[in-house]
Structure 1
Amino acid sequence: MGTEATLAKYRLRPFDWASAATCIHLARSQARNLGHRPPAIPRFRSAVGARTALAAQGHGTLEALLDSLFPRIAPAAMLLGDLAALPGEGPFPAIMIFDGGAKLLGWHGADPSGIKPVARAMGEIVGAWRL
């Protein structure tokens, strides 16, 4: 139910720094929908602003932020709704939601118009977190 609520919220929202439609917003929404109470995300309107906000929170990377909030797990141990990080196209990794099968759900460069399933990405995961 929690993962479906997250996907419903972001499925048709294009990736956009200025309108809070980013990977970290997706991850926070997913965590909240699964019963966690992650801290609020400071407002930012660009990748530079996001990097500044992350540093102000005391973290050098998104992975470090997620490590401070959730237990890191092996990608092979992921369950439906867990978070995974893939190499990103910019300064941050792509944070996605595991679908419980063999796909990750999130924005990707080929079509950033909304949340899409990404197949054959399991071997590219650089981090995973249990929600």
Structure 2
Amino acid sequence: MLSSVERAAATRKTLAKYRTLPFDWSKRATCIHLARYHLRNMGHRPPAIPDFRSALGAKRALEKTGFADMAALLDSLLPSIAPASAWVGDLAVLEGGEGFDSIVIHAGGKWLGYHMDDLGGLKPLVVTEIKGAWRA
């Protein structure tokens, strides 16, 4: 397990790449790509992401994995935690758009992720309901 200093450094590396990277299905700039990149920075070896370039393609790719949703996929990779006990670098799932949940990263008192109203990069989110959280 990474120290708090290492977790913060790995999270900063992820945020440096995605902070201004616009959400784009066709360019592989989605929350699942964000999560995979972040997990690799945190020392995990997540499986490859099937190639998809649209919301429909992403739905098909998720179905092929055999998981019902993003939470089930994360359950297969990481230990579940109570959202209130999240550390810097942990992941959570929020209700998202286009029939998908959204994966976000804990960044010390706030959750960062793509927001449907401004897909120009990661934003601090006002979180009212977390569907699940995982120790990264």
- Aligned residue in 2 for 1:30: 38
Tell me by how many angstroms 1:125 deviates. 0.8
Pair 1:57-2:65 in alignment:
yes
- Aligned residue in 1 for 2:74: 66
- Aligned residue in 1 for 2:6: none
Pair 1:106-2:109 in alignment:
no
| Aligned partner (choices 9, 22, 26) of residue 14 of structure 1 | 22
- Residues in 2 aligned to 1:43 and 1:5: alpha-carbon distance in whole angstroms: 24
Structure 1, unpaired ranges of 5+: none
- Residues in 2 aligned to 1:28 and 1:80: alpha-carbon distance in whole angstroms: 16
- Aligned residue in 1 for 2:135: 130
Q: Residue 21 of structure 1: SS of its match in structure 2?
A: coil
Tell me by how many angstroms 1:80 deviates. 0.4
RMSD of aligned alpha carbons: 0.9
| Aligned partner (choices 37, 53, 59) of residue 45 of structure 1 | 53
Q: Report if aligned partners of 2:19, 2:122 keep a CA contact under 8 Å in 1.
A: yes
- Aligned residue in 2 for 1:117: 124
| Larger strand fraction of residues | 2
Calculate the TM-score normalised by the size of structure 1.
0.94
Deviating 4+ runs (over 6 angstroms)? none
Tell me by how many angstroms 1:72 deviates. 1.0
- Residues in 1 aligned to 2:88 and 2:15: alpha-carbon distance in whole angstroms: 13
Q: Report if aligned partners of 2:93, 2:101 keep a CA contact under 8 Å in 1.
A: yes
- Residues in 1 aligned to 2:68 and 2:60: alpha-carbon distance in whole angstroms: 9
Q: Report if aligned partners of 2:25, 2:55 keep a CA contact under 8 Å in 1.
A: yes
- Residues in 2 aligned to 1:35 and 1:81: alpha-carbon distance in whole angstroms: 12
- Residues in 2 aligned to 1:86 and 1:77: alpha-carbon distance in whole angstroms: 16
Query: How many residues get paired?
Result: 128
Calculate the TM-score normalised by the size of structure 2.
0.90
